[in-house]
Structure formats: structure tokens, C-alpha cells
Structure 1
Amino acid sequence: METDFLISLLQIIAIDILLGGDNAIVIALASRNLPEKQRNKAIFLGTGLAIVVRVVLTIVAVYLLNIPFLYLAGGILLLIIAYKLILEEDEELDVKAGKNLSDAVKTIVFADIAMGLDNVLAIAGAAHGNIILVVIGLLVSVPIIIWGSKIILHFMERFPVLIYIGSGVLAFTAAGMIIEEKMLHTVFADNTMLEYGLYLFLIIGVLFAGILTNSIKRKAK
């Protein structure tokens, strides 16, 4: 049980770091016009509130996943997110800088909610209903994202393989969610080969689809 807990926790931290790079950029953009002292306050307040909101949303998502077929739907949605993560797209974030501390904090919190839905879904799936995992995972990973975002982004740009590894982690989580779907329990019950087969099929499938799409796009250019 301790090993499963640790694996799930590392999974949650990896997912949040992987999907949270843009959140760190939002924080920088939202607070860029403030004086240095207020900028630090905006970062701490905005991040603190964002963590609280993220924890609440993820806990809600964990309970919602008990509804029939939502684990299956969540797994499929997570596969789409894993695929999109690989695609080579240049997206610019349009974030207005806050005129004062209050505006900057609001921008950080609302942007985090809007951009954090994929994180919430992935973490809810990886937590397997364990709320303690959700809270610990977010408390550990969010500060890493904020203070280490430049380093994380630098390594991801320098070593693109990290993106593919991250996408594989998401596909692995998606497979786990589909297998845990109660309505499909009879399909996977006592069938270890089928479980492992689904994990391999989805991970390889997502990676292959992403690489193939990027290759086609490059040739089209």
C-alpha cells in the first residue's frame, strides 16, 4: 500500500509540473506592473488562493468520478490532453497585468482555474479517490512550478523527450481511469494481460499519433 501511495503521489507531482508551466507564466504576467513588494504579495496571495481553489475542485472531481461512466469519459479526455501535449504549437498567452494588488491576485486565481482543468482531471484520476494524495501532491508541486518554472521550461525546451515522457504519464493515468471504471469491471476483472495490454496500447498509441501528426505538419510547411 505504501508503494502504491508513493507511486500515485509521484504521478500527481509529475502531472502537475508537466501541465502547470503556463500557470507560472501567468503569475509573472499578471504581477509584472506592480512594485516589487506588491509583486511578491501578489505571487504569494494569488498562488495560495489558487492552491485552495485547485484542491477544492480536485476533491469535487474525485467524488464526481464515482458517477457511472465518468471514469471512462475522464480517461478518454485525458488521452486527448496527452495527445495535444505532444503537438508542436506556438501559443501566446494574453494576460493583462493587474493595475493593483487585488487585480493581480484575481487574475492569477481566475487564470489558474481556467487553465487548471486538465490538471484537476488528471490528478483526480491519479489519486484513486485518496484526498490526502490530492492535497499533498498539490502542496508539493505548485511551489515547484512557481519557483522552478524557468528551469522546468528550459529543460523541456532543451530535452523534448521530457514532453513525450510526460505525455506517456498522462496516457498511463488515462488507462488506469478506464480500467477503474465500475461499469467495465467485469471486462478487466482477473485479466491482467488485458490490463497491461490496454496500458501499452494507449501509451504507444498516443505517442505514435502525436509524432505522426507533428511529422505531417512539418512536411506540410
Structure 2
Amino acid sequence: MNLDMLEPILIIISIDIILGGDNAVVIALASRNLPPEQRNKAIFLGTGLAIAARILLTTVALYLLQIPFLQLIGGLLLFYIALKLLTDEDDNQQINAGDSLMAAVKTIVFADIVMGFDNVLAIAGASHNNIALVIMGLLVSVPIIVWGSRFILMLMDRFPMLIYFGAGILAYTAAEMVLEDSYVLHVLYEYPMIKDWLPILGVVATISTGYFVNKKREDAAA
């Protein structure tokens, strides 16, 4: 594996882990009413189908992002998702626990699809139209999310800077998506300095905005 492939794979894995905490909670909640012997089956089957659905949706997103201006729109939307990651106070959702194996599996897959839009968009932007990178990144990161979810969530609670790090990765990916849009490439063709600095400025602006919004909220609460 060369370095050109290693960077996007690491970014994809990081995006999945940062954004995947809620998905891991969904898996736990959906299977909590099952007998112990069926829980692992629900986790394996639900996670496997969720990975397949995620790959399919990301493949569709890769094709859609070839349409003019959609890379630009997708990048701007990903900036919003990065900022939302920093400033959301509570993103918990009510998940009904299934009382049968198939009910739990359906809940896991459906919730993953509904909640996974940000993951799909971010991964599509980070993969540079290479579906092999998407598959490799998901196969590595999803088991980490499933089995290490409690540890990951504990780290995020204890070290809030990890959330800022994740938002920075999303902002960087968003800037690259914007720069890969054919219209933006045409406009910025004669301004290479903007192309070099936009990802850095996007990361700084996103993290700074999130920090000041959170600081203002904390001051108001105090």
C-alpha cells in the first residue's frame, strides 16, 4: 500500500470512529432485550448488513458527486456537519429495543442508514472516488466502533479535544471536496495559493467557531 492510499484510508477510519459513537450505541440499545445467546448474532448480522448498506450508499454518493456543483454543495454541507459535531449538546435518539433477532437486526440497519448520512458524505469526500478505499476503511473502522464503542465514548467525554480533532478532519475533507468541484477548479485555476490555504483556513474557522459557540453557551449557563 503506497502513501497516496494510506492517507485517505486513515482519514476514512478517523471519520468513522469520530462519527460512529452513536451508531455503536444504537447497536447496544437495539439488542438489549434479546437473550444473551442471540445478542452476538444480532450484532454480527446487523453490523454486516449495515456495512453493506453503507458501502452501497457511499457508492451512490460517489457517482452523484460527479454532477457539477454537487461537490461544492456537499463540501459546504460537510462544513455544517463538522460545526454541528462541535456544538450539538445532545444527539441522543430514542431507539426501540427489538424483542426478536430479526427485529433487532432491522432496527440496527435502519438506524445506521438514517444516522449515517454524515458518515456517507464525509467518506465519499475523503475517498477521492475510490470505492476500494471506502471498503477498506469501513472494514477496519466498523469492528473498532462496535467492540470499542464504550471506550471511544469514554475518551471523547474525558478528552473533549478529540471532538475538535474529529471536526478538523471533517472540515479538511469538506475543503478538499469544494476544491475538487469542476466549477471551483476552473475559477481557482489562476489562484493556486487559495487552493493551498483553503483546507487550513477551513479547519481553523470551523474549530474556532465551534469553540466560541461552546464558550458563549458555557458563560450563559454560568
Counterpart of 2:170?
Answer: 170
Between the aligned partners of 1:188 and 1:149, the Cα distance in structure 2 is 41
Between the aligned partners of 1:63 and 1:42, the Cα distance in structure 2 is 32
Between the aligned partners of 1:111 and 1:148, the Cα distance in structure 2 is 19
Between the aligned partners of 1:70 and 1:51, the Cα distance in structure 2 is 24
Between the aligned partners of 2:189 and 2:11, the Cα distance in structure 1 is 24
Q: TM-score with structure 2 length normalisation?
A: 0.96
> In the TM superposition, what is the alpha-carbon distance from 1:88 to its structure 2 partner?
4.8
Unaligned runs of 5+ in 1: none
Q: Deviations over 1:167-199 (max 9, x none)?
A: 000000000000000111123336432112211
Counterpart of 2:93?
Answer: 93
Q: Deviations over 1:29-67 (max 9, x none)?
A: 000000011111100100000000000000000011000
1:10-89 matches, cutoff 5 A: 10-89=10-89
Distance 1:88 1:69, change over 3 A: closer
Counterpart of 2:200?
Answer: 200
SS of equivalent to 2:178: helix
Q: Is the 8 A contact 1:68 1:182 kept in 2?
A: yes
Distance 1:108 1:173, change over 3 A: same
Q: Is the 8 A contact 1:88 1:214 kept in 2?
A: no
SS of equivalent to 2:112: helix
Q: TM-score with structure 1 length normalisation?
A: 0.97
Counterpart of 1:124?
Answer: 124
Between the aligned partners of 1:174 and 1:190, the Cα distance in structure 2 is 21
**Relative to structure 2, which stretch is displaced further, 206-215 or 189-198?**
189-198
**Relative to structure 2, which stretch is displaced further, 88-97 or 208-217?**
88-97
> In the TM superposition, what is the alpha-carbon distance from 1:90 to its structure 2 partner?
2.5
1:132-171 matches, cutoff 5 A: 132-171=132-171
Between the aligned partners of 2:128 and 2:19, the Cα distance in structure 1 is 19
Between the aligned partners of 2:81 and 2:151, the Cα distance in structure 1 is 23
> In the TM superposition, what is the alpha-carbon distance from 1:218 to its structure 2 partner?
1.4
Between the aligned partners of 2:165 and 2:215, the Cα distance in structure 1 is 18
SS of equivalent to 1:95: coil
> In the TM superposition, what is the alpha-carbon distance from 1:201 to its structure 2 partner?
1.5
Between the aligned partners of 1:37 and 1:188, the Cα distance in structure 2 is 58
Q: Is the 8 A contact 1:122 1:173 kept in 2?
A: yes
Alignment length (residue pairs):
221
Q: Find out whether 1:3 has 2:3 as its counterpart.
A: yes
Q: Deviations over 1:56-111 (max 9, x none)?
A: 00000001100000000000000001001111503332101001001000000000
Between the aligned partners of 1:91 and 1:133, the Cα distance in structure 2 is 29
Unaligned runs of 5+ in 2: none
Determine what percentage of the aligned residue pairs are the same residue: 57
> In the TM superposition, what is the alpha-carbon distance from 1:155 to its structure 2 partner?
1.1
Q: Is the 8 A contact 1:87 1:213 kept in 2?
A: yes
